[in-house]
Chains A and B, each alone.
Chain A
Amino acid sequence: MNLRLAIISLVCLLPSIGINGELALPATGIFSKGPNQYKDEVLEITKGRGATIGWYIKAKKEEEVRVSIEYSCAAPLNQDYQLSFDGNDKFWKVIPTKDNAFSRVELGVFRIRPGLPVLVLLVPPSGTKYPHPLRFRKLIVEGSKPDNLSRIPTSEAAIGPAAPTASSGFGAKLTELHPALSTLDLREEALTLRVSGMKMRGDNELLFTTWDGDLYSLDLTAISETGSPPLRKIAQGLSEPMGLAVSGHRIFVTEKNQVTELIDKDHDGGFETYRCVSQDWPCSMDYHEYLFGAVIKGDHLYFNASVGMARRGIDNYQAPLRGSVFKVHIDTGKTEIIAGGLRTPDGIGHSSDGGILVTDNQGEWLPANKLIQIEKGGFYQFRSTPPRHPLDVPKATPPSVWLPQGEIAASPTEPFLIPSNWGPYAGQVLFGDETFGGLQRAFLEKVDGVTQGAVFRFSQGFRHHFHRFAITPDGELYAGGIARGKDQEYINRVSGLTRIRYTGKKVFEPLAARLHTNGLEIEFTEPLAEGTGWNPATYYVTQWGYQATQTYGGQKVRHRLTGVRSATVSEDRRRVFLELAEITSGDVIHVRVSNSLLSEEKLPIRTGDLWYTVNRIPTNLPGKVKKAPAMTFAEPESFFKFAKGDPGQVLFQTYCTSCHSLDGTKLVGPSLKGLAGSHRKTRAPDSNELLSVEATADYIRQSITEPNALLAEGYTENLMPPMGGILTEKQIDDLVNFLSKKEGRP
């Protein structure tokens, strides 16, 4: 290595040190370039989706800083760039530079705090690909205090804590039915019933709508344990209904563009009038504009309007008021906006305190999925291009519970309260998932009047991917599945109706989590075996934040290990208080409980993961810390294993298994069985040309970072998220390495 090269290498490797208060954030030091290209030290940005143009910086002292950009651009863009500085957003209308020469302009003034690293993100418009690049050289963060600011090298900043080896229920998705549940598949094999709305009418009649526009009735007293259910179609011709509500004998449906009451005035069994209750909000022809519903409170119907997706590659236009929770008077049709900023809120239900719960799906402006107890006037951060939602404010309302993508949710659906006769779980929240499958469980609590809580794994092992639910007075759960896409075999398989019963069988697992000033208390369904649970090493705790961006998805921010100072088991051995070294408001705390724990009755622990969202830290509610009794540390030294094996395999389990199998099973996406070196049928979306492509490492990498570039035959555009915007370059390398292995592949 010659001297010049050595100096250049040294300069590149060293973090930028603030001299005279100025810190450079170079284009060459970002997390992920996505589909964009470098030309020397300049990143030529043509598309935002799939890229993460960001840096971590630190400050020794708090101060005001100015952020500028060095760029050139030959022509105007039809959308703004987002600059996010520690979660505070500014929007930048790109002004073309003269003769396409580099220029420096100020983007915003922020306050930087000392302490934890601060994430700075430059976010191009999502989805839109521009014919001319914005040539980006660097951001400049300018403060007034010399040597106050420093940049954390990307390679260091992007590495989160090591993940312990995963198994079903402990770092990996469950594979089995919950032991305390029994199911009956109520399929009629000849039918594909994509259940879109479901409610009880009276004690014994189940009503449900299908995406195809029919309303069915099922007499629950006439169900046999074998054979087809006695389904009866009682209405038809509905327009993409996505919600059903029953008030007494009145039936309401949220259709594609209106709320409709179905009326059978002459009581002949047929609904001869479809009364339009309301359509007092704008709509467009966008395929993704749905009305997800619906629940009734008093004389009002509540439902959610999803945003459009069809113009993501053009101008990101949204019809006004999309992303709202609406409230409509069922008689007068008077329509009010309750909240805004939602994206794909495919579930609405009642909370235990009379409020409204909504789930929302990860994507643009949602770095993870959400469970939200709706606040009146709340804005939940999905932003359209101007004109923006009337409730849009810079500081968005946080969700009650973040549902990390791929780990516990992918497309969450209707939330509902668990019936009172479901043992220890009664009163908690369950919700389905159109992609992840199964049922997930949430425990909610209020801290300073703000709802927050934890989400837990609950059950997989169902044939259908549940979308809508209804509960009988006896506590039987009816669950309806749905799927989208073009794979009819898959859609038929996961759509349909299931009856679920709670059997009361004892199961040992985490039940609830409650935040204290100094830590987190975990409640279990059964008492712990005597002398166990006291060892802090039994619990592997990490935490992170989320940053919303106008591009799809988002990385975990400041993902770090959290020290467990002590673990205190309660007198009844049903609760363990974890004294934590750090709790940060806005973060998610992930606890992995060791799978070595046993209950008092020697039941093995079934699941170990919980994710608690910290919106508020209780100010005067310390958890009790006690000294562990003697001999309680006489447990295995290592509760968690950290395999030196394949990090790509762990990433695959976390991010890919919801949609791709390795054993040939068809899920949302194609199976990756025997992928490496195989020839795959693909389609170029622009030309529709069919191509046979060898699955080389380059192809696999492109499929991960630019999934729309070559579509697997039979699958649609935008079905797969661009993981380049979620994973770091190192993680993508690991994943490509794992999927490229020919030896030992499944």
Chain B
Amino acid sequence: MNYRFITILWLLIPLLGARFSLSRAGENDANLPFDPARICRLSLDEVPRSISIRQGDDVWIGYDLEKGNVMKVWQAPAGSPGLIIKSFKAYSKGTTWFEVKNEEAWSLKTSGSKDRLSARYLGSTREDEHFLLRWELSHDGKKLVLNERIPISSDGADKKVVREVRVESLEPGEALFHPMINPEGWELTNSDGQPVSTLTDTHWHRLSLP
């Protein structure tokens, strides 16, 4: 290693580290992934394994991680936070746009039978434009991986809330039934923008709340 290279490295270090080292300890850091102001991993509304994700400025989507499903969508009150944190628990505050009412689960229709799937949470990823949640859906040895991503921005959306879902490795002839297409009010469209009632391919589908 020559001296010139070392000198360049020394000059680069502050720049390379800038993105993740400028935060003051003890404060939320918008530059780090999982900023609690955008994604809250504390239990929501007394559901122990749950997560809350903010879309745009004031819309929150709450997921029940054990069911692999949205449990609540709400809009924060104007000028105040949509989540109240108390003793490491989060509580929604604002106008409820959607709240799960049924106990439906994901189900898979294969040749002739429609089976209820159990969900196993696999984790979440902060992508540039989305939060990605992943589950393994299974029944009797059959396993599917479900990806759901939530656009961070609400810019350009003509709907209250937009989500996107995709299932990996769906066999021809199989159909994945989302637990809340109807009668919960969510609209599902395929990658061509056509309304559908099930997922029958591995492309991204869009779920929206009018």
Q: Do A and B come from one complex?
A: yes
Interface residues of A (CB under 8 A from B): 188, 190-193, 213-214, 216, 231-240, 255-258, 260-261, 268-276, 279-280, 283-285, 287
Q: Which of A239, A260, A268 contacts B19 (CB 8 A)?
A: A268
Q: Which residues of A contact B16 (CB under 8 A)?
A: 269
Q: Which of B25, B33, B43 contacts A285 (CB 8 A)?
A: B43
Verify B88–A239 contact, CB threshold 8 A.
yes
Verify B33–A271 contact, CB threshold 8 A.
yes
Which residue from chain A places its CB closest to the CB of B49 in the assembled complex? A257
Verify A272–B49 contact, CB threshold 8 A.
no
Known: A257-B49, A275-B123. A237 touches B41 (CB 8 A): yes
Which residue from chain B places its CB closest to the CB of A235 in the assembled complex? B32
9 residue pairs, one from A and one from B, having the closest CB atoms: A237-B34, A275-B123, A269-B20, A276-B123, A273-B125, A191-B26, A231-B25, A239-B41, A272-B33
Verify A232–B25 contact, CB threshold 8 A.
yes
Known: A237-B41, A269-B19, A272-B127. A216 touches B25 (CB 8 A): yes
Which residue from chain A places its CB closest to the CB of B121 in the assembled complex? A276
Q: Which residues of A contact B25 (CB under 8 A)?
A: 188, 191, 193, 214, 216, 231-233
CA–CA, A255 and B32, complex, Å: 19
Q: Which of B19, B31, B36, B87 contacts A237 (CB 8 A)?
A: B36
B166-209 near A? 1/0 per residue, CB < 8 Å = 00000000000000000000000000000000000000000000
B109 proximal to A (CB < 8 A): no
Q: Which residues of B contact A193 (CB under 8 A)?
A: 25-26
B69-108 near A? 1/0 per residue, CB < 8 Å = 0000000000000000001110000000000000000000
Verify A273–B87 contact, CB threshold 8 A.
no
15 A-B residue pairs with Cβ-Cβ distance under 8 Å, sorted by A, are A190-B26, A214-B25, A236-B35, A236-B36, A237-B36, A237-B40, A256-B48, A269-B17, A271-B34, A272-B33, A272-B127, A274-B124, A274-B125, A283-B49, A285-B48
CA–CA, A31 and B23, complex, Å: 58
Query: Closest CB of chain B to A337's CB: distance in Å?
Result: 18
Query: Closest CB of chain B to A652's CB: distance in Å?
Result: 32
Q: Which of B21, B32, B127 contacts A236 (CB 8 A)?
A: B32
CA–CA, A715 and B196, complex, Å: 57
Q: Which residues of B contact A192 (CB under 8 A)?
A: 26
Query: Closest CB of chain B to A207's CB: distance in Å?
Result: 13
CA–CA, A75 and B16, complex, Å: 71
The total of Cβ contacts below 8 Å across the A-B interface reads 107
Q: Is the interface of B mostly helix, strand, loop or mixed?
A: loop
Verify B48–A257 contact, CB threshold 8 A.
yes
Q: Which residues of A contact B121 (CB under 8 A)?
A: 258, 276, 279
CA–CA, A221 and B179, complex, Å: 54
CA–CA, A280 and B138, complex, Å: 14
CA–CA, A231 and B126, complex, Å: 24
Verify B49–A258 contact, CB threshold 8 A.
yes
Which residue from chain B places its CB closest to the CB of A280 in the assembled complex? B120
Q: Which of A188, A256, A270 contacts B32 (CB 8 A)?
A: A270
Verify A270–B41 contact, CB threshold 8 A.
no
CA–CA, A258 and B41, complex, Å: 11
Which residue from chain B places its CB closest to the CB of A264 in the assembled complex? B33
Q: Which residues of A contact B20 (CB under 8 A)?
A: 232, 234, 268-270
Q: Which residues of B contact A279 (CB under 8 A)?
A: 49, 65-66, 121
Interface residues of B (CB under 8 A from A): 16-17, 19-21, 23, 25-26, 28-29, 31-36, 39-43, 46, 48-49, 65-66, 87-89, 120-127
Verify A236–B29 contact, CB threshold 8 A.
yes
Known: A233-B29, A237-B36. A274 touches B88 (CB 8 A): no
Which residue from chain B places its CB closest to the CB of A273 in the assembled complex? B125
Verify B123–A285 contact, CB threshold 8 A.
no
Verify A273–B123 contact, CB threshold 8 A.
yes
Verify B41–A284 contact, CB threshold 8 A.
no
CA–CA, A1 and B23, complex, Å: 82
Verify B35–A237 contact, CB threshold 8 A.
yes
Query: Closest CB of chain A to B71's CB: distance in Å?
Result: 14
CA–CA, A234 and B127, complex, Å: 17
Verify B42–A284 contact, CB threshold 8 A.
no
Verify B88–A233 contact, CB threshold 8 A.
no
Point out which of A191, A237, A257, A271 has the most chain B C-beta atoms below 10 A from its C-beta. Answer: A237
Query: Closest CB of chain A to B50's CB: distance in Å?
Result: 9
Q: A232-B23, A279-B121, A285-B46 are in contact. List 4 more A-B contacts (CB 8 A).
A: A213-B41, A269-B17, A270-B19, A283-B49
CA–CA, A271 and B35, complex, Å: 11
Verify A284–B123 contact, CB threshold 8 A.
no
Verify B89–A285 contact, CB threshold 8 A.
yes
Q: Which residues of B contact A271 (CB under 8 A)?
A: 33-34
Q: Which residues of A contact B32 (CB under 8 A)?
A: 233-236, 270
CA–CA, A236 and B37, complex, Å: 11
Q: Which residues of B contact A285 (CB under 8 A)?
A: 43, 46, 48, 89
Q: Which residues of A contact B29 (CB under 8 A)?
A: 233, 236
Q: Which residues of A contact B87 (CB under 8 A)?
A: 287
Q: Which residues of A contact B48 (CB under 8 A)?
A: 256-257, 283-285
CA–CA, A260 and B123, complex, Å: 8
Query: Closest CB of chain B to A335's CB: distance in Å?
Result: 11
Q: Which residues of A contact B49 (CB under 8 A)?
A: 257-258, 279, 283
CA–CA, A257 and B41, complex, Å: 10
Which residue from chain B places its CB closest to the CB of A283 in the assembled complex? B48
Verify B126–A232 contact, CB threshold 8 A.
no
CA–CA, A261 and B125, complex, Å: 12
CA–CA, A236 and B121, complex, Å: 20
Query: Closest CB of chain A to B23's CB: distance in Å?
Result: 5
Q: Which residues of B contact A239 (CB under 8 A)?
A: 41-43, 88
Q: Which residues of B contact A260 (CB under 8 A)?
A: 123
Q: Which of A232, A268, A270, A287 contacts B88 (CB 8 A)?
A: A287
Query: Closest CB of chain B to A631's CB: distance in Å?
Result: 64
Q: Which residues of B contact A269 (CB under 8 A)?
A: 16-17, 19-21
Which residue from chain A places its CB closest to the CB of B28 in the assembled complex? A236
Known: A190-B26, A236-B29, A283-B48. A272 touches B125 (CB 8 A): yes
CA–CA, A268 and B16, complex, Å: 8
CA–CA, A237 and B32, complex, Å: 10
CA–CA, A274 and B20, complex, Å: 17
CA–CA, A188 and B121, complex, Å: 37
CA–CA, A192 and B88, complex, Å: 16
Q: Which residues of B contact A268 (CB under 8 A)?
A: 19-20
Point out which of A191, A260, A273, A287 has the most chain B C-beta atoms below 10 A from its C-beta. Answer: A273
Which residue from chain B places its CB closest to the CB of A229 in the assembled complex? B25
Q: Which of B31, B41, B89, B127 contacts A238 (CB 8 A)?
A: B41
CA–CA, A126 and B21, complex, Å: 50
CA–CA, A276 and B133, complex, Å: 10
CA–CA, A260 and B65, complex, Å: 14
CA–CA, A231 and B17, complex, Å: 14
CA–CA, A272 and B126, complex, Å: 5
Known: A257-B49, A276-B123. A236 touches B88 (CB 8 A): no
Q: Which residues of B contact A234 (CB under 8 A)?
A: 20, 32
Verify B122–A276 contact, CB threshold 8 A.
yes
CA–CA, A723 and B33, complex, Å: 47
Q: Which residues of A contact B23 (CB under 8 A)?
A: 232-233
Q: Which residues of B contact A232 (CB under 8 A)?
A: 20-21, 23, 25
Q: Which residues of A contact B123 (CB under 8 A)?
A: 260-261, 273-276
CA–CA, A191 and B27, complex, Å: 10
Q: Which residues of B contact A237 (CB under 8 A)?
A: 33-36, 39-41
Verify B26–A240 contact, CB threshold 8 A.
no
Query: Closest CB of chain A to B30's CB: distance in Å?
Result: 10
Q: Which residues of A contact B28 (CB under 8 A)?
A: 236
Which residue from chain B places its CB closest to the CB of A284 in the assembled complex? B48
Which residue from chain A places its CB closest to the CB of B21 in the assembled complex? A232
Point out which of A268, A270, A280 has the most chain B C-beta atoms below 10 A from its C-beta. Answer: A270
Which residue from chain A places its CB closest to the CB of B25 in the assembled complex? A231
Known: A269-B17, A272-B125, A273-B123. A236 touches B34 (CB 8 A): yes
Which residue from chain A places its CB closest to the CB of B41 in the assembled complex? A239
CA–CA, A284 and B47, complex, Å: 8
